[in-house]
Amino acid sequence: MTMRMTTPLPHGGRLVERVVTDPVLAKKLAKGCPVYDIKPTVNEKGVPVRNVYREIMSICYGFFSPVEGPMGSAELERVLNERRLLNDWIFPFPLLFDLSQEDYKKLGVGPGDRLLLRLKGKPFAVLDISEVFVVDDREAMAHRIFGTPENNPEVVKEPFDKKHPGWVIYKCHNPVMLAGKYTIINPPTFKPPFDRFWLPPRQSRAEYAKRGWRTVINHQTRNVPHVGHEFLMKNAAYTGDIEPCNGIQVNAIIGVKRRGDYPDEAILEGHEAVNKGGYIKPERHIVTFTLWDMRYGNPLESMLHGIVRQNMGCTHHMFGRDHAAVGEYYDMYATQILWDKGIPSFGFPKSVCEVPYGLQIRPQNMAEFWYCPKCNEIAYSGSCGHSKEKQKFSGSFIRGMVAEGIYPPGVIFRPEVYEVVVKWWKKFNYPFCNEAYVKRVEEELEINLPDLDV
């Protein structure tokens, strides 16, 4: 017997919405404020790895509820030690607003001040400062964030280093941290194709209600979909304790990613092609995104994903092996361990769904899909007896085919999806993320800001 699901409450009990749409109020909030032009976080080569504007957007539009702004020193410590906010709700990563010592001295701000944040020279948001503190050793902070084999032996297999994108992001933070609350005072508009897929939590909940979706399962992605992803979505919606699922949400992470991932535009339009091609019934399928410079934190990243999608109104979340992972730093099933029984060294003696102030969204842990040449069909792990003949959907293998200009067979890529890859390949002169693409994204961003005279 299946349990009738209801839309979960936002994480923390309410959606954070800190966006001012009245220009008169916006000007009043910004009047007389010292001004800081947002700068990207860059690695040792000067390549952008993060832009805090994406965190500001995700906080102010409610994706990261109940967080309302950059964390203070006590909250940072609690997140590092217990993966909890000061109000007790679970949260996996520090969200920080960092400055160089030089920029901080120029600003001359402190607790009680309001700072106007500009983006590409235009007013964007204000930060009401509650605390200023310094993190001298950001490398040590990065190790505490992601874990070590000694301190987190259940799931951490290798020490984190400069090959890990998320570790690099935190190591490259500036030392001075401003804590407080953000408010967006000049709401941006998204550039194509992003404008078609922007559905923040208040709107997503309304959209699911409009469609009559009582149960919604989320598919996390940073990839253009191959047929294995498609079958993962289709089958996840009909297995386990979902009744079956009314809707499938694809929520792509949009922001700086590692070299070799697909461009953001191709990811969104690739999933849209699955929808338009009818490979998943369009009435049961929707493509959206969240702004976040991905940390590749495997079990910790999955917790953030659960928070984001619960805030959006999803009832379930599918998790496969190596969720949101890069390299072999974590056990390939670390995410499923977290959601099945917890990871005590990270502060979770039980599943994140079963601890106090935890999550209401439910996990749908999946194995993998592969092509069985003997059955001549896509097979789920253990569904047939031809394991020796199975051919895995290897992302590296598929990317290799694409890079060589080989048209993948239909059993790997739907033709409409491959056409999207080629479209953006021609646009950017390379099918995957590289330094040139990352720098271009930083220069242009995903948004346009209106003129606002403050």
Question: How far apart (Å, rounded) are the C-alpha atoms in residues 20 and 23?
Answer: 8
Four-point Cα dihedral 437, 441, 444, 450, nearest 10: 160
CA distances 386 to 1, 114, 319, Å, are 32, 64, 24
User: In terms of Cα–Cα distance, which of 187, 91, 274, 141 is closest to 449?
Assistant: 187
DSSP class of residue 203?
H
Domains of the chain and CATH, by start: 23-189 (3.10.400.10), 194-442 (3.40.50.620)
Tell me the Ramachandran region of residue 278: left when phi exceeds 0, alpha when psi lies from -120 to 50, beta otherwise. left
Question: How far apart (Å, rounded) are the C-alpha atoms in residues 222 and 262?
Answer: 7
How many Cβ atoms from other residues are within 10 Å of residue 60's Cβ? 24
Residues ≥6 apart with Cβ < 8 Å to 393: 226, 227, 228, 229, 368, 369, 370, 371, 412
User: In terms of Cα–Cα distance, which of 251, 244, 239 is closest to 207?
Assistant: 251
Question: How far apart (Å, rounded) are the C-alpha atoms in residues 428 and 242?
Answer: 41
Digit-by-digit pLDDT tens for the chain (454 residues) are: 345 568 999 999 999 999 999 999 999 999 999 999 999 999 999 999 999 999 999 999 999 999 999 999 999 999 999 999 999 999 999 999 999 999 999 999 999 999 999 999 999 999 999 999 999 999 999 999 999 999 999 999 999 999 999 999 999 999 999 999 999 999 999 999 999 999 999 999 999 999 999 999 999 998 899 888 888 888 877 754 556 689 999 999 999 988 888 999 999 999 999 999 999 999 999 999 999 999 999 999 999 999 999 999 999 999 988 899 999 999 999 999 999 999 999 999 999 999 999 999 999 988 777 777 777 777 777 677 777 766 776 666 777 777 777 787 777 889 999 999 999 999 999 888 999 999 999 999 999 999 998 8
Question: How far apart (Å, rounded) are the C-alpha atoms in residues 162 and 175?
Answer: 18
pTM: 0.95
